[in-house]
C-alpha cells in the first residue's frame, strides 16, 4: 500500500542550521558537497515515507543509489525559483523515467513574485503536488500502468498535467517493450518465461504468450495454446505456493 499524500515536514534544526549557514537564503547549489550527508538523510527519509514508490507514477523505487532521484517539484532551474532548492516540501523521491520526462516543466498556475514564500494552496498548482493534493482524488491506476484522471474538472486537469509531463500514457508500451527485451535476452526458455511472468504480472496471458513466441527463436512453429498453457500452469502453481507459504506463516 502506497501513500496518498505526504505530511508537510520541516528540516531538523540541525539540517536547517546547515542550510542557512551555507546559503543564507540564496539556496541554489543543490550538489554542494558539504551538504551531501543532509541529502543522504533526506533520500532515506523520503523513500521510507513514500513506501519506496515514485511520487508521480507510484511504481516501485529501488533504494539502491542511482535507481531513484530527488525531484524539485517547482524546478530550481526556472527563473527565480532557485530559492526553493532546499525548501523541504519542494523535495520528493521519484523514478528516473519520471524525472527525465518531467525535467523543468512548470507546475504553478501563475508566476510567483520574487519574494513570496512557497505556495501551499491546492489552487496554486497545475499539477498534483505530493504534499498538497491527495493522489487518490486525482489519478486512478489500473493494472499497475494505466493512469486515469478522475475527480472534478480541476482535479482532472492537474492529473492530466502530471500524466502528460511524466509520459505516463506511454507506460503500457514501455512495459511491453521491457517485457519483450527480458524474454529475448534471457539465457534459456524457462528463465525467459519465468522472468516474464514474475516481472510483468499485468500483461494478459494471451499477449504474453504471443510475445514469448515472437521473442524466442526456438519457439518458431510452436502453438499459441502450448505457450499459453505453460503460462497458466506457472501462474497457478505460484499462487498455490504463495498461499501455502502465507498459511504456514500465519500458523
Ligand atoms: Zn515515476
Q: How far apart are alpha carbons 71 and 92 in whole angstroms?
A: 5
Cα(146) to centroid(ligand 1), Å: 13
138: which 3 cell numbers? Answer: 486525482
How far is the CA of 123 from the CAs of 21, 32, 112, 119, 155, in angstroms?
Answer: 33, 33, 13, 9, 10
Q: Which residues of 160-172 are buried (b: 16+ CB within 10 A; e: fewer)?
A: bbbbebbebeebb
Picking from 10-24, 83-97, 149-163, which range would have the lowest pLDDT averaged per residue? 10-24
Cα(57) to centroid(ligand 1), Å: 4
Cα(119) to centroid(ligand 1), Å: 23
Cα(83) to centroid(ligand 1), Å: 25
126: which 3 cell numbers? Answer: 497545475
Cα(37) to centroid(ligand 1), Å: 24
Note the pLDDT of residue 118: 95
Positive/negative CA dihedral, 118, 124, 126, 130: positive
Tens digits of residue pLDDT in 183-222: 999 888 888 888 888 888 888 899 999 999 999 888 888 8
52: which 3 cell numbers? Answer: 519506496
Cα(168) to centroid(ligand 1), Å: 8
Amino acid at each position: 500500500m502506497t501513500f496518498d499524500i505526504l505530511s508537510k515536514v520541516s528540516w531538523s534544526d540541525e539540517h536547517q542550521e546547515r542550510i542557512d549557514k551555507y546559503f543564507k537564503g540564496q539556496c541554489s547549489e543543490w550538489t554542494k558537497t558539504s551538504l551531501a550527508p543532509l541529502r543522504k538523510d533526506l533520500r532515506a527519509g523520503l523513500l521510507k515515507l513514500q513506501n519506496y514508490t515514485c511520487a508521480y507514477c507510484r511504481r516501485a523505487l529501488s533504494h539502491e543509489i542511482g535507481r531513484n532521484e530527488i525531484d524539485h517539484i517547482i524546478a530550481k532551474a526556472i527563473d527565480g525559483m532557485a530559492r526553493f532548492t532546499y525548501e523541504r516540501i519542494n523535495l520528493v523521491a521519484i523514478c528516473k523515467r519520471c524525472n527525465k520526462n518531467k525535467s523543468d516543466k512548470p507546475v504553478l498556475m501563475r508566476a510567483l513574485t520574487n519574494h513570496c514564500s512557497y505556495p501551499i494552496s491546492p489552487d496554486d498548482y497545475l499539477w498534483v503536488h505530493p504534499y498538497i493534493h491527495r493522489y487518490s482524488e486525482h489519478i486512478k491506476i489500473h493494472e499497475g500502468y494505466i493512469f486515469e484522471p478522475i475527480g472534478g474538472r480541476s482535479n482532472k486537469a492537474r492529473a492530466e498535467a502530471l500524466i502528460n509531463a511524466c509520459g505516463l500514457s506511454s507506460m503500457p508500451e514501455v512495459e511491453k517493450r521491457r517485457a519483450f527485451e527480458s524474454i529475448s535476452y534471457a539465457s534459456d526458455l524457462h528463465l525467459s518465461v519465468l522472468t516474464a511472468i514474475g516481472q510483468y504480472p499485468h500483461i494478459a496471458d494471451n499477449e504474453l504468450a504471443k510475445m514469448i513466441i515472437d521473442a524466442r527463436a526456438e519457439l518458431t512453429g510452436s502453438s499459441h495454446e502450448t505457450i499459453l498453457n505453460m503460462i497458466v500452469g506457472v501462474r497457478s502453481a505460484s499462487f498455490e505456493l504463495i498461499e501455502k507459504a502465507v498459511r504456514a506463516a500465519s500458523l
